[in-house]
Structure 1
């Protein structure tokens, strides 16, 4: 056996040069290897280009085999292509939870219902035929509604009553009350009729009802007054059960209204008490719930009108009425 690289000895009987045979075989091997190298390099470059691998990257190995059907969870087995299996976190942002409904305010009027009736409607001036329809108020028949009055500058009573009524609603809701308005600004072209206004309070089973107004008498007559129901029993009118509680409601509102607004009781009726009893108002005659009207001032008197047209004063008026209702219902 030979362990060196020396050329093999010449075969016996051969006249060839042994060094030449060895050189020839070695040269042939070198040439073959040299020819094969470019082909291998070209194949590698082609493979890398087709695989998308960049410099320094390695070709991916065989793709992992999917787990067997039995190894998947029920949600994974049933999931449709592209869907998120049940029990797995979604890659999409979850939908935000709906904001909880606002919690009603708690206060002395919690569980109580108050109906606020904004007197008249700004559209009544354009619907005089409709509001002139006669309705039965028990003691007699009278107009469905009226236009209400205005200040000398044209500020409408219906604008005033709606503004104060909305402020009053806010104040009462802050005390925990459920508040129902007989109508909202712009929700109807005219009215409602006085019979419907009474019915809304009755059907709401209201603990108290207040109808907001402003008077329209001659200049020099100033101040507020509260109108209370008289005791009547005729046709659909029967006020026997509400006369007492309505007076208490009126007295509470009168005291708080005077204190909060700085307004004095009317100087032209009520004997300085600010309280007047009437039997000719359908809104009172047809009510089965404690109810009063408040005339907050005289729109035809310049000094009263200056108050009635002031947003700051209207806020005080609403608060004074609200405090009277709280005193009546909350003790």
Structure 2
């Protein structure tokens, strides 16, 4: 904000608070009477009701964990990502490299891009957002650690962003939800299903991506072999945004405009779930 000249500011102050100093006879010359003492109110400016009680943002107070699957540096460190970890139903590799389109656009890069877009939208709506990784040049974290980050944050919802690498003739997206395994995820299986269905609906209507033709029923799949789900103590889902090996899906996944639509759709689904 620019500062006005001192003389103008003083004149305004006198006109605003001292009636004698700026009376109607000011143009007749200098008054022989002393001006009344200047009195300044200690009260602040009046505020309208809308200023005093601005509506809360829709996701204020909500904690959301976003898990961008894989990592851009995983392929450089097989000795780290191939380490076996316990996911309760089996032992699995700490992490994997992920897939890619036929012309080399990596799943890790896609996951990171969508996660950043989604984070920006959710934070603008008042949510506290935590990511399981901070860039696309590192390694991991392990699938067990990804679940632990959501648990430590006591997230109201967690979502792991992925894209699939199926046969080229298969297309569409699907949502993966946990099964009961007599483990920490059991108490949140029902809420994870509700989260999954809500996000599925929002993504389908918001992006136009078809339901998966090759896995699940109406884009819903349930698994008990994913550490990110098995070890989660908070409602959590995986989204497989499309098949990177299918030409039609790949064209969408490589489009920045489509990825923005995806992020907006996921945000809508999360917000609807958290109402």
Range of TM-score over shorter length: 0.7 to 0.9
**Aligned to 1:122, what secondary structure does the other structure show?**
coil
When Rg is computed on C-alpha atoms for both structures, the one with the higher figure is 1
Deviation at 1:189, TM superposition (A): 2.6
Task: Using structure 1 for the length normalisation, give the TM-score.
Answer: 0.66
Which residue number in structure 1 is paired with residue 118 of structure 2? Answer: 168
Per-residue CA shift, 1:273-315, capped at 9, x if unaligned? 1100000000000000000000000000011000000000000
Distance 1:172 1:106 in 2: 14
**Aligned to 2:241, what secondary structure does the other structure show?**
strand
Distance 2:165 2:112 in 1: 17
Which residue number in structure 1 is paired with residue 147 of structure 2? Answer: 198
1:253 matched to 2:199:
yes
State the superposition RMSD in angstroms.
1.1
**Aligned to 1:241, what secondary structure does the other structure show?**
helix
Unmatched segments (≥5 aa) in structure 1? 1-104
Distance 1:207 1:189 in 2: 27
Which residue number in structure 2 is paired with residue 97 of structure 1? Answer: none
Distance 2:100 2:274 in 1: 33
Deviation at 1:263, TM superposition (A): 0.8
1:216 matched to 2:165:
yes
Q: 1:316 aligns with which of 249, 261, 266?
A: 261
Unmatched segments (≥5 aa) in structure 2? 1-54
Displaced runs of 4+ in structure 1, greater than 3 A? none
Distance 1:325 1:260 in 2: 13
1:270 matched to 2:208:
no
1:139 matched to 2:84:
no
Which residue number in structure 2 is paired with residue 295 of structure 1? Answer: 240
Which residue number in structure 2 is paired with residue 179 of structure 1? Answer: 129
Task: Using structure 2 for the length normalisation, give the TM-score.
Answer: 0.79
Which residue number in structure 2 is paired with residue 239 of structure 1? Answer: 185
Greater relative CO (CA pairs within 8 A, separation 6+) = 2
Aligned length: 221
Cα pair 1:106 1:174 within 8 Å, conserved: no
Structure 1 residues 257 and 205: CA distance shift in structure 2, 3 A: same
Deviation at 1:175, TM superposition (A): 1.5
